[in-house]
């Protein structure tokens, strides 16, 4: 192959890898660092600019640079795909694998047959049910809240499968899910009150839609802005805020319908379960969050261990220093544990870092703040919004400190 042909093949590989990495949900700062490392290894001069909706790569020196602009869609994290992409990148970086083989591997990932639709749908509903049920306990719910959240989670899971077929494809899933959750939670609270029981509609509703909360998106946005990737960070932050507003409007609509039909929703305090139940459900919560992020089953043990360390670190830090510092401590533990695990294995840092970060759940504070605004409780809404931002910033600070300690051998 001529030098020009080899150069073109290297550029094609970089472009294919960057697009696939974006589709796997890699944050902008990690994507750009990885592309820069690959380009250096292949002898290219490459400039990368990544946002949730645009990917731009410039090849060559500034005076004769060739620019490629790719329109992309915001992508959720797909940890199994990230795992495979990292393996391809490392073969190029470490083993100097031929680029034609690396390109073939990337195309093979794109053309892989998806899981059968019925099985995929059934598993998605199950993950929604388990996620909502377990998170109800972490939000302070009792047995009634856990049962109601499980029902709401299953219904939201069914809605996630049905709504693209029932609508024009408009991005209103979070709004519809929140309206459904609020209405079902109100019905559950009324049914419980009719039988002399108390059920917190708020905890059941929040747990039922916890999979929609943009807590991780908000944390990534703050991290990107702290890493000086301002365009991507700002875009993600606005996307998180828009999602929260959609959810709050959905809750207002669902609650209004339930109130109009059934009357005022009873207000109740959950009967919290013993503390050991939270620790017992911690591994299940970590596994469910990992499966929501499409992690490989072979990575589940590492994910559970890192998530448990981060959660316990956040809990200890919260009790000793307050919730904001506790979130930073938990994120620092998660970042360090993910780095150590990545150095000792072939596992990318993000595979364990993403589910463990999700366990810190900053999104619930943002959801509560917007709900309070709609309820005309502006003072409490401002307080909750500031708390949400502080916790997101604390998590971001903990993750950045974990990356700053020492020098990692690997970008991903």
pLDDT, residue 370, reads 65
Average pLDDT over residues 76-92: 89
pLDDT, residue 172, reads 83
pLDDT, residue 375, reads 57
Structure tokens given for 316: 């200890």
For the chain, the domains span 3-110
Average pLDDT over residues 321-331: 86
Provide the percentage of residues in the chain whose pLDDT is more than 70.
88
Interval 164-182: pLDDT, tens = 666 666 678 899 999 999 9
pLDDT band at 361 (very low <50, low <70, confident <90, very high): low
pLDDT, residue 97, reads 75
pLDDT, residue 57, reads 93
pLDDT, residue 379, reads 65
Interval 247-299: pLDDT, tens = 888 988 999 999 999 888 888 888 888 888 988 999 999 999 999 898 999 99
């Amino acid at each position: 192959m001529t030098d020009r042909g080899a150069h073109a093949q290297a550029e094609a590989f970089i472009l294919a890898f960057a697009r696939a990495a974006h589709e796997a949900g890699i944050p902008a700062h990690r994507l750009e660092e990885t592309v820069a490392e690959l380009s250096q290894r292949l002898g290219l001069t490459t400039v990368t600019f990544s946002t949730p909706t645009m990917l731009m790569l410039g090849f060559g020196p500034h005076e004769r640079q060739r620019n490629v602009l790719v329109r992309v869609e915001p992508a959720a994290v797909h940890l199994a795909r990230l795992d495979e992409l990292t393996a391809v990148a490392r073969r190029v970086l470490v083993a100097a694998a031929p680029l034609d083989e690396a390109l073939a591997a990337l195309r093979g990932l794109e053309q892989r047959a998806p899981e059968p639709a019925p099985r995929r749908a059934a598993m998605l509903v199950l993950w929604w049910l388990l996620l909502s049920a377990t998170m109800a306990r972490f939000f302070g719910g009792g047995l009634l809240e856990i049962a109601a959240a499980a029902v709401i989670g299953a219904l939201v899971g069914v809605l996630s499968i049905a709504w693209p077929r029932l609508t024009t494809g408009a991005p209103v899933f979070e709004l519809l899910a929140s309206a459904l959750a609020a209405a079902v939670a109100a019905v559950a609270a009324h049914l419980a009150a009719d039988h002399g029981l108390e059920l917190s509609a708020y905890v059941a509703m929040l747990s039922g839609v916890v999979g929609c909360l943009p807590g991780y998106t908000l944390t990534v946005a703050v991290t990107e802005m702290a890493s000086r990737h301002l365009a991507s960070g700002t875009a993600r932050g606005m996307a998180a805020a828009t999602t929260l507003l959609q959810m709050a409007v959905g809750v207002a609509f669902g609650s209004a319908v339930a109130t109009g039909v059934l009357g005022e929703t009873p207000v109740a305090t959950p009967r919290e379960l013993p503390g050991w139940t939270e620790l017992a459900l911690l591994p299940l919560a970590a596994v469910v969050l990992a499966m929501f992020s499409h992690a490989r089953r072979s990575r589940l043990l590492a994910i559970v261990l890192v998530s448990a360390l981060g959660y316990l670190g956040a809990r200890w830090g919260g009790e000793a220093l307050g919730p904001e510092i506790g979130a930073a401590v938990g994120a620092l533990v998660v970042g360090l544990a993910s780095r150590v695990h990545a150095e000792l294995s072939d596992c990318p840092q993000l595979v364990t870092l993403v589910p463990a970060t999700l366990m810190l759940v900053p999104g619930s504070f943002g959801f509560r703040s917007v709900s309070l605004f709609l309820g005309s409780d502006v003072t409490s809404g401002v307080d909750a919004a500031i708390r949400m931002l502080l916790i997101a910033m604390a998590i971001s600070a903990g993750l950045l400190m974990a990356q700053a300690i020492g020098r990692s051998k690997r970008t991903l």
